[in-house]
Structure 1
Amino acid sequence: MSGKTAVSRDDDLQPASVVPDSIGKVLHTEDLDTFPCRRSAAGARRRVTMLGLRGIPNVQGGVEKHVEMLATRLVAEGWNVDVIGRRRYLAQSSPYSWGGIRVFPLWAPRIMALEAIVHTFVGVCFAALRRPDILHIHAVGPALLVPLARLFGLKVVVTHHGYDYDRQKWGSFARRMLKLGERLGMKLSNRAIAISRDIVETMGALYRVPVALIPNGVAVTRWRGDSGILREFGLERRRYVLVAARLVPEKRQTDLIQAFARLEGVGFKLVLAGGAEFETPYAQDVRAMASKVPGVVLTGFQTGERLADLFANAALFVLPSSHEGMPIALLEAMAYGLPVLASDIVANRELGLPAQDYFPLGDIDALAAAIAGKLTSPLSEEEILARMLHAEATYSWTSVAQKTLSVYGALVR
């Protein structure tokens, strides 16, 4: 996991007295007095509400990591931050405080096609009661509800995290809705942000609107202890290849397993860290394929010190995906100083890595050859340290927060 602040333990979660029970429960404004949100005097702390994610802390997903890291920096900058999450992904079912951030677990249906949009509707209604200075909606699907938020009189910022309609899991109707969400988010929000230059330029060309470029950041947990995860899965330091990603088709773990299967006798293992939110045919395919290839290890979703151990001790990080916004997992691998390989999609190429760090998307032979080449030419510890320092200097979450606050500042002067 990134940064010390991103590692949570149960005793960090302090329950609050407000319980937003479900979509069917009426929320009375007097019930919200526990968490006052209106500015009572000049100079009072501003409040932003984050919506469009599963929740924080330690919830799998790029948007979730982005909000977790951004929110901690906004708190340090003097803002009050509320995060509205989906109850089933969170450690508690009632509101709690984590790192100075208030997290509100709200109900969402456990149906892949409806979960995000229904939860966002509930979240917008909840935000309308809370009246934050800024409602910050993340991703183009939740941006479908921007018109409703504007009707409630909220000031809305939307961050475009990637072309979600390109994800393989969606059918034609869902893709059309996601594209509509993109259009509504870009044209009807008060301010728009994108995490990559490609998205900024594409949105400008499509919708003729200004979009602020604020890339993802990276921070690394300085964990040098022993979480026990290497022993648990029979791993040795610098003797395994790592990918950390959800088990969804666009991450293409199956490509990586096939490439690894062609590297007979290399003496390395392949570690797939990540889980599936829903039991899908793709997740089943990954598990079935992994079971047939010696040396492939499935760890499930990992976070905190255990994930830090996996990153810190890997020999190589590979990201074979067909879709990314701006890949936080790849940034984290770079911040750990690891050699990396990434598919040559636009989002990965935007990081400007050397040519030898890319391979043609879907080319199993090229991926296998690239992995073999990296493993036979390991980096020295001095080279690893130099890479770590470069990544941390280039991708700073503090810079992300300051740029975000400049966007907010145009709305709350």
Structure 2
Amino acid sequence: MKIIVTGTRGIPDILGGVETHCEELFPRIVRKGIDVSLIRRRSYVHDSLTEYRGVKLVDLATPKRKSLEAIIHTFKAILKAKSLHADIVHIHAIGPALVTPLARLLGMKVVFTHHGPDYDRDKWGWAAKTMLKHGERMGVMFANEVIVISEVINDLLVRKYGRRDCHLIYNGVPAPDKVADTDYLKSLGVESHSYVFAMGRFVPEKNFHQLIRAFAALKQQNYKLVLAGDTDFEDDYSKKLKSLAKENGVILTGFIKGTKLHELLTHARCFVLPSSHEGLPIALLEAMSYDLPVIVSNIPANLEVGLAFDCYFQTGNEKQLQEKLQKNLVQDFCPVHYLMDEYNWDRIAEQVVSVYENMF
């Protein structure tokens, strides 16, 4: 069985939830004896790898333009998949799913993973939102099999398209790699349990600007706010966010993975996710795997995780977020153990392989 993966910028160590998903999932699928090639967008690649943990890597040139690159890259990837004699093309996200009918016309079977209704993201204009909605429709109507990463998305596809045979397979999270050392913390000027932590892409729907304002309003002297992440496309929002962070003494780490990220997750006081839009947030699952207290917006994707009531605040309500932060910081630090069985990547890989196998 030969699988070609597209719809992601690439792996390894490339910013994004879909990218993290693919980096964890497909090496595990390869270990089950399946031939997997993943097609990367060359403009995001900073290595010369041809393989990563058994996954073959194929790089295609794509213009790095926010509104066009996904569809152009996926179109080229579908043609490449045909030339590589793919049995199944696995398309990730609704933008790339626009070319699902082309893959079917070329005689390939298609699995489409719906990571969330991206047309709800604040960064897109009317034209882009329209294309994304059309991509969702093409993926749901023409893919042989559809995977959804949350019940919220599953319900959406039943209501909008009447598709009732989607496979609910959650995002996952690897076992935590807790780091006792604090060398990286020292380089940032913080100490263990003396900082609030958040991470993600610097786009409007993550609402990091609201987090910065809510934290600044506390006028805390004993705690810092550490924000890990960056943006793919520097725009007015990301520039203003970085300026706001600098004005309020927020520590920006840039995009980090590996030991530095694990160290920050190990020693954080709490984790905050104030988003107005998510599919099923891997960043939140990572924080939970490190037993961190969490404060998250009450959007459907976060509610589906099933946290305690006190963990949630009303989306966009900075005053309520401020109150939740204040309550956390005046209490003694206490780790929280969460049930994470549903988010085990090995189990998830088995579920995806089962989808593949049942297509023949």
Q: What 5-or-longer segments of structure 2 have no aligned partner? A: none
Alignment CA distance shift 1:68-1:378 (3 Å)? farther
Q: Which has the larger displacement, 264-273 or 158-167? A: 264-273
Give the Cα–Cα distance (whole angstroms) in 1 for the partners of residues 102 and 49 of structure 2: 24
Matched with 1:257 is 212
Residues 181 and 250 (structure 1), Cα distance of their counterparts in 2 relative to 1, 3 Å cut: same
8 Å CA contact retained: 1:227, 1:306:
no
* Inter-partner Cα distance in structure 2 for 1:225 and 1:349: 32
Indicate the residue corresponding to 2:278 in structure 1.
324
Please tell me whether residue 68 in structure 1 is matched to residue 23 in structure 2. yes
- Structure 2 equivalent of residue 211 of structure 1: 166
Distance 2:183 2:51 in 1: 29
Change (3 A) 1:356 1:123: same
1:408 aligned to which of 347, 356, 360: 356
The corresponding residue for 2:322 is 368
Question: Which amino acid counterpart does residue 236 of structure 1 have in structure 2?
Answer: E
3-state DSSP class of the match of 1:157? strand
Letter matched to residue 71 of structure 2: I
Q: Secondary structure at the match of 1:403?
A: helix
Distance 1:166 1:248, change over 3 A: same
Q: 1:172 aligns with which of 114, 119, 126?
A: 126
CA-CA distance at 1:302 after TM superposition = 0.4
Q: Which has the larger radius of gyration?
A: 1
Counterpart CA distance in 1 for 2:205 and 2:252 is: 18
Distance in 1, matches of 2:18 and 2:62, equals 17
Q: Distance in 2 between matches of 1:217 and 1:245?
A: 16
Displacement of 1:208: 1.6
Q: Select the residue among 74, 82, 86 that pairs with 1:128.
A: 82
Cα deviation digits, residues 316-374 of structure 1 (max 9, x gap): 10000000000000000000000001000001000010110000111111001101111
Secondary structure of 2:68's partner? helix
Give the aligned CA root-mean-square deviation in angstroms. 1.4
> What residue is the counterpart of 2:303 in the other structure?
349
Kept in 1, the 8 Å contact 2:119–2:132? The answer is yes
CA contact (8 A) 1:95 1:105 kept: no
User: Please, what TM-score do these two structures have when normalized by structure 2?
Assistant: 0.97
C-alpha separation in 2, matches of 1:80 and 1:402: 15
Q: How does 1:73-84 map to 2 (within 5 A)?
A: 73-84=28-39
Equivalent-residue separation in structure 2 for 1:228 and 1:275 (angstroms):
22
1:150 matched to 2:104? The reply is yes
Shift of 1:91: 2.5
2:89 counterpart SS class: strand
Given the superposition, is the C-alpha separation of residues 193 and 257 from structure 1 closer, same or farther in structure 2, using an over 3 Å criterion?
A: same
Contact 1:195–1:213 (CA under 8 A) maintained in structure 2:
yes
In 1, are the aligned partners of 2:182 and 2:192 still within 8 Å (CA)?
no
Counterpart AA for 2:349: A
Q: Aligned equivalents of 1:223 and 1:91: distance in 2?
A: 27
Give the corresponding residue for 1:102. 56
| Identity %, equivalent residues | 43
Work out the CA distance in 2 between the residues paired with 1:228 and 1:99.
29
* 3-state SS, counterpart of residue 113 of structure 1: coil
In the TM superposition, residue 138 of structure 1 has moved relative to its aligned partner by 0.2
CA deviation map 1:390-409 (0-9, x unaligned): 32x34211111111112111
| Equivalent position amino acid for 1:54 in 2 | R
1:100-142 Cα deviation digits (max 9, x unpaired) = 1111121110111111111111111111101222110000000
Matches within 5 A, 1:51-66: 51-66=6-21
Unmatched 5+ residue regions in structure 1? 1-45
1:334 aligns with 2:282: no
Partner Cα distance (1:170, 1:319) in 2: 21
How many residues matched? 359
- Cα distance in 1 for partners of 2:295, 2:61 equals 39
What is the 5 A alignment of 1:217-232? 217-224=172-179, 226=181, 228-232=183-187
Deviation larger for 121-130 or 260-269? 260-269
State the distance in 2 between where 1:203 and 1:51 align. Answer: 21
Contact persistence 1:52–1:138 (CA under 8 A): yes
Q: Is the Cα contact below 8 Å between 2:3 and 2:35 reproduced in 1? A: yes
Q: Quote the offset at 1:171 in angstroms.
A: 0.7
